Amino acid sequence: MSFKNTKAIILAAGCGKRMKSELPKVLHKIFDVELLKYVYNAVNNLVDISYIIVGHQASVVEDYCKANLNNIKCLLQFPQKGTGDAVKKAYNELKDFEGNVIVLYGDAPLIQESTLKEFVEYHNQNQSIVTVMTAKVDNPKGYGRIIRDDNNSLIKIVEEKDTNEQEKIINEVNGGVYCLDWQKIKYAFNEIDCNNAQNEYYLTDIITWALKNSLKVSGYKIEDETQILGVNSKKDLANVSKILKDKVIDNLLSEGVTIYDKNTTWISPFTQIEPDTIILPNVYINGKNKIGRNCKIGPFSHIRGNVELEDNVKIGNFVELKNAKVKSNTNICHLSYIGDSEIGKDVNIGAGTITANYNSITKEKNKTIIKNKASIGSNSVLVAPVCIGENAMIGANTTVTKDVEQNNLYITRTKEKVIKDYVKVKKENMEGIK
């Protein structure tokens, strides 16, 4: 549900030097999804359009946005003169706009749509001109500090590098998310200055400007401080990734999924798992997937995305699945790779089975279809495109290169050969040479 007359500005122009990477910071990924897309997903349903402010490697970020995001327009900030200057880049686009503008950072992927919805509702209910999201944190280092008066009213935000000793110990911090009544606050962006340690135009200075002009400012304090965490280094990326996957696992546990080891299990937030399914240690589930009831996954299994498992499916040790639909009561045994496949009900896939789905010359991927009650022997290779008929059987150590009709046995083994006393004779001949 979108709010009437609400737009977003997502700040994605920063260099991200501490990432020590050629890739723009906002395009680094968690579970193969870019940081910027997490932020976009959180705000997109609430707004008419998102303006994405690009700067460092602007063409790379803009190309990504155009290819992957809807209802957006990229605006260039060059040179980068601070967050206040970045928001000002949307000034002309919003010249006649009357409504709210949500401002967010593109490197804070844990923010939730539900939180933003409550945030904007709070802003509207309080009839504020500026509302800033705040949180209390154990270690405020690096954050702008929220300064309140004796009445607990927010009076200003002081950036880390501009804090004095008393302000440094304040642990209520700026969450970097704003809701602005645009028509009343837009003039601030022509009047704030860059008289600070960074010689930049701070977005936080609109708080002082608003109060000076007798406009209402509010602070919306969130309980879950992790939602405001930004990513400025690879260490931050690892930390935020772990927080995200722990939240996913906690939610699944509360919904009846059995997960034995939180520390070694990674499950993407885009995966649905039904109750009474068991996830064993060292399982990595990436991408968007749907897993039914009473399944058993792992240990050491890797589900790479676009996988659907119906009820009572068993995935063994060291199994890899990608782009596969597996119907109920099917077993896929250890050390197997199943990709670009449709697997029927009551199928047994023996250990070491591979669906050879990729043609390295044509760069094409082809599909393997295995119908109900088929049995695939261990160490078999199914060379796609291929279809294994209902109740058919593939002998162990077989390479299948053509369709197998129902009820047939398909086997491609060379006839066994025994050379009597081969080893003994070989050793005797070696000794004779000496």
Region label for 240, one of left (φ > 0), alpha (ψ between -120 and 50) or beta (otherwise): alpha
Query: Which of 194, 239, 241 shows the shortest CA–CA distance to 82?
Result: 194
Instruction: Please name every residue paired with 383 in a beta bridge, in sequence order, or none if there are none.
Output: 356
The helices-and-strands tally (H runs, E runs) of the chain is 9, 35
**Which position among 28, 123, 302, 334 bears the catalytic label?**
334
Q: How is residue 102 annotated by DSSP?
A: E
Q: How far is CA 76 from CA 53, 65, 92, in A?
A: 6, 13, 13
Q: Is 334 a catalytic residue?
A: yes
How far apart are alpha carbons 86 and 77 in whole angstroms?
A: 6
Q: Do the Cβ atoms of 130 and 40 come closer than 8 Å?
A: no
Instruction: Please name every residue paired with 100 in a beta bridge, in sequence order, or none if there are none.
Output: 6, 181
Cα separation, 50 vs 106, whole angstroms: 11
Sign of CA dihedral 261, 288, 119, 86: positive
Report the chain's terminal Cα–Cα distance, integer Å: 86
d(CA 134, CA 176): 8
| CA-based torsion, 155, 159, 165, 167: positive or negative | positive
- CA pair distance 289, 271, nearest whole angstrom: 5
Instruction: Tell me the β-bridge partners of 51.
Output: 9, 73
Angle of helix 113-125 relative to helix 35-44, nearest 10 degrees? 50
Query: So which residues are the catalytic ones?
Result: 334
